[in-house]
Structure 1
Amino acid sequence: MTATTSPYAELKAPTTARRLLTAPTTGPLAALLLACAFFSLSTDQFLTGGNFSLIVQQVMVVGTLAIGQTLIILTAGIDLSCGAVMAFGSIVIAKMAAEGSVPPLVAIALGLVVCGGFGLLNGLLVQKIPLPPFIVTLGMLNVAFALTHIYSEEQTVTNLPGPLTALGQTFPLGHTDITYGSLVTIALFLLLAYALSSTGWGRHVYALGNSAEAARLNGIRTSRLTIGIYTVAGLLYGIAALLLISRTGVGDPQAGQTDNLDSITAVVLGGTSLFGGRGSVLGTFIGVLIVGVFRNGLQLMGVASIYQTLITGVLVILAVTVDQLSRKKAR
C-alpha cells in the first residue's frame, strides 16, 4: 500500500524558509554579518576578541537607551528626551554620592526614581491629555537638559565612590577583558526580549502598537499600559545613566546630547517599524551592533568621524525605506 503525501507537506519547507527571509531581523543580521566580513578583510585589528569587547563597551549605554526606545516605538510613539533624561539621572547619582549627602547605593536608587519619574510624566502627558509623543518628549528633552545644567552648575562631578564605577570594572574571559556593564546590557536585552515575546504584557504592547482602539475593545487597559511602558523606559534610562558613569568615571553634564538620535537609529536599523506593532528587542540589539561595528571599523580604517555620521544617516534612510516598501507590499 503506497503512502500518500499531503500537498501541504510540500509547502511546509518553503513557507518556513519564506518566514525566515521575510523576518524583520533577517535583513539587519545580514547587514551586520556583511559589515563584519568587510572590516575583517580591511583591517587586521577588527577580528579580535579585545576589539569586539570594546565595541560592546562603546554601545552599552546607547544600547540600554535603545531598549526603552524600542518599547515606545512599538506603540507608534517616540522618545526624544531619553539622552537628556539619562544625563540628568547621571548627574543626580554622581553629585549626591560625591557630596556624601546620601550613601552611593541610595544615590543610585534616587537616580533611577528620577528617570522613572520622567518616563511616568511622559506617559501621563501622552495618554491623559493627550499630546503627541513627539511634542511631549521634545519638551521634556529641554526640561531635562536645563535641569542637568542647573543642578550640576555646569561642573563635571569627579571623585566618585567605588559603587558608582563598579560596572566599569573588567574580568578576564580567555584572553579578553569583559566589563560587568556589558553583561548588564546583554542581560537587559534578554530580559525584555523574553517579556515581549513570551508574556501577556508583551502581546499587549504589540496589540497597542497595531491598533490602540482595537486593543481597547479587546479588553486591554491601553491607558495604564501606555503609562507603564513610558515608565519602564524611564527606568531603563536610569540604568543607562549608571552605565554611563561606570564607563566614564565622572558625572558629565554634557553627556547624552546625541544619544536620543543614536538610540532611534539603532531601533530603526534593527527592523522595528516607526509605525508601531512590528519589531523586536533582538532586532534592536542587532541594530546597536551595526552602529558600533560601522563606527569601530571605519575608525580602524582611519575614516574621519564626519563620514561615519554620513554613512550612519544613509543606513537609517535605507532602513526606513525598506520598512515603508514592506508595509506597502503587505497591503
Structure 2
Amino acid sequence: MAEQSTIKTKNILGRLPSLTVLGPFIALALAIIFFGIQSDRFLSGPNFSLILQQVMVVGVLAIGQTLVILTGGIDLSVGFVMALGTMVMTKFAVELGLPSLLAVLCGIAATTAFGLLNGLLITRIKLPPFIVTLGTMNIAFALTQIYSKAQTVTGLPDPLLFWGNTFKVGGTVITYGVALMIVLYLLVWFFLSETAPGRHLYAVGNNPEAARLMGIPTQRVLLLTYTIAGFFYGLAGWLLVSRTSVGDPNAGQTENLETITAVVLGGTSLFGGRGMVLGTLLGAIIVGVFRNGLTLTGISSVYQVLITGILVILAVTADQLSKRRG
C-alpha cells in the first residue's frame, strides 16, 4: 500500500508544471501583490498601461532573442542593430524625403540583413554565435555613429509615430504599439507550437545532430532563425521611434542584456530546445513591474539592477535543476 501511495504521489508530481514554467507566474504574482500593498497607485489601469509601454520595445526585441536562444545560440547585437535600423528609417524619411512606409521598410531591411549576416557567419563559416554577434554588435554600433554623425534625428512625419497613438479600453489608454507586441507574441507562439518549422526549431536547439539525422535541415533552420530575429529588431526599432518621436543614435545600449534577462526570466533554457515565447513576455513584464514598483516606492534605481540580477540567477538555477532532473 505504501509503495502504491508513493507511486501515485510521484505520478501527481510528474504532472505538475516544472519550476521553470511556474516560476515566472509566481514571481509576477508576488511582485504585483507586494507593490500593490506598498503603493496605492500601483494597482491601477493607467499604471499597468505605462508598464506595458515601457516594456514593449524590449518585449519585441526579446521575441527575436527567444528564437535564437531556443536554437542554443545567443545574440549580443540586438540593441545596436535596432539602433541602426532606427537611424536608417528616420534619416531616409526626414533627409531623403522618402515616403514614411518605404523608409520604415528600408530600416527593417537593414536589421534583417544583419540577422542574415549573423546566420551566414554561424552556418557557413561555423563561428560561435557569441563571437559572431559580439562582432556584429560593434559593427552595427560603428555604422550607426558614422551614418548619423552622432546626431539625433527630429521632426519625424506622423506615420513613423503611428504606434505611439492610443486607444481606450475601459477608460484606460493603451498604445497601438502595446497591441502590436501582444499580437506578435501570439503569432510567434502559434508558429512555434502548431507548425512543423516551429517544431524543427525546438529540435535543432535540443539536439542538432539528432535533428540532422531525422532529415531536418539544421543549417537552414539556423539561418532563417537569425534572419527572422533581425526582422523583429527592425519592428522594435519602429516602436522605439514611435515612443520617443526621435531617431536616437545612442539607443540600444543595454537592450542586449535586457532581452536575455526577459528570455531567462520567462523560463526559456539557455541551453536551447526548451521554453515558451509567451514566457518571454512574462519575463519582460516582470522586469517592468519591478522597475515601476520600486520607482513608485521611492527606492533607488540601483536596487532595480540588483533585484533583476538576483532574479536572473534564480531563473538560471531553476533551469539547471530542471535539466538535471530531466
If the TM-score is normalised by the length of the shorter chain, which range does it land in? over 0.9
Which letter does structure 1 place at the counterpart of 2:256? N
Q: How far off its partner does 1:169 sit?
A: 0.7
Q: Which digits, 9 at most, give the CA deviation of each residue in 1:6-45, with x for residues without a partner?
A: x9xx95x984664343163211111111110110011001
CA contact (8 A) 1:164 1:242 kept: yes
1:196 equivalent in structure 2:
192
Match of 2:309 among 308, 313, 318: 313
1:294 equivalent to 2:290? Answer: yes
Q: 1:136-285 alignment to 2 at 5 Å?
A: 136-285=132-281
Query: d(CA) in 2 for partners of 1:189 and 1:138?
Result: 26
Query: d(CA) in 2 for partners of 1:209 and 1:264?
Result: 16
Q: Which digits, 9 at most, give the CA deviation of each residue in 1:139-182, with x for residues without a partner?
A: 00000000111111110000000000010011111121000000
CA contact (8 A) 2:18 2:322 kept: no
Query: d(CA) in 1 for partners of 2:19 and 2:186?
Result: 19
CA contact (8 A) 1:74 1:277 kept: yes
Q: How far off its partner does 1:322 sit?
A: 1.2
CA contact (8 A) 2:19 2:318 kept: no
Q: Which digits, 9 at most, give the CA deviation of each residue in 1:234-257, with x for residues without a partner?
A: 000000000000000000001110
Query: d(CA) in 2 for partners of 1:319 and 1:234?
Result: 26
- State the number of aligned residues: 321
TM-score (norm 1): 0.94
Q: Which digits, 9 at most, give the CA deviation of each residue in 1:223-277, with x for residues without a partner?
A: 1110000000000000000000000000000111001100000000011110000
Query: d(CA) in 2 for partners of 1:20 and 1:311?
Result: 28
Sort the Cα spacing of 1:299 and 1:132 in 2 relative to 1 into closer, same or farther, 3 A: same
2:68 equivalent in structure 1:
72
What are the ranges of 5 or more consecutive residues in structure 2 without an aligned counterpart?
A: none
Q: Which digits, 9 at most, give the CA deviation of each residue in 1:172-231, with x for residues without a partner?
A: 111210000000001111000111111101110110001111101000011111000000
2:79 equivalent in structure 1:
83
What are the ranges of 5 or more consecutive residues in structure 1 without an aligned counterpart?
A: 1-6
Q: 1:31-50 alignment to 2 at 5 Å?
A: 31-50=27-46
2:113 equivalent in structure 1:
117
1:4 equivalent in structure 2:
none
CA contact (8 A) 1:24 1:283 kept: no
Which letter does structure 2 place at the counterpart of 1:324? Q
Which letter does structure 1 place at the counterpart of 2:294? L
Query: d(CA) in 2 for partners of 1:198 and 1:210?
Result: 18
Which letter does structure 1 place at the counterpart of 2:101? L
Q: Give the superposed CA RMSD.
A: 1.5
Query: d(CA) in 2 for partners of 1:250 and 1:17?
Result: 52
Which letter does structure 2 place at the counterpart of 1:242? W
Query: d(CA) in 1 for partners of 2:193 and 2:230?
Result: 21
Secondary structure at the residue paired with 1:177?
strand
Query: d(CA) in 2 for partners of 1:101 and 1:211?
Result: 49
Q: Which digits, 9 at most, give the CA deviation of each residue in 1:255-310, with x for residues without a partner?
A: 11001100000000011110000101011111011101000100111111111111
Secondary structure at the residue paired with 1:102?
coil
CA contact (8 A) 2:262 2:280 kept: yes
Query: d(CA) in 2 for partners of 1:203 and 1:170?
Result: 36
Q: How far off its partner does 1:329 sit?
A: 1.9
Secondary structure at the residue paired with 2:167?
strand
Query: d(CA) in 2 for partners of 1:227 and 1:36?
Result: 39
Secondary structure at the residue paired with 2:273?
coil
Query: d(CA) in 2 for partners of 1:221 and 1:193?
Result: 22
Q: How far off its partner does 1:326 sit?
A: 1.5
* Percentage of pairs with the same residue: 60
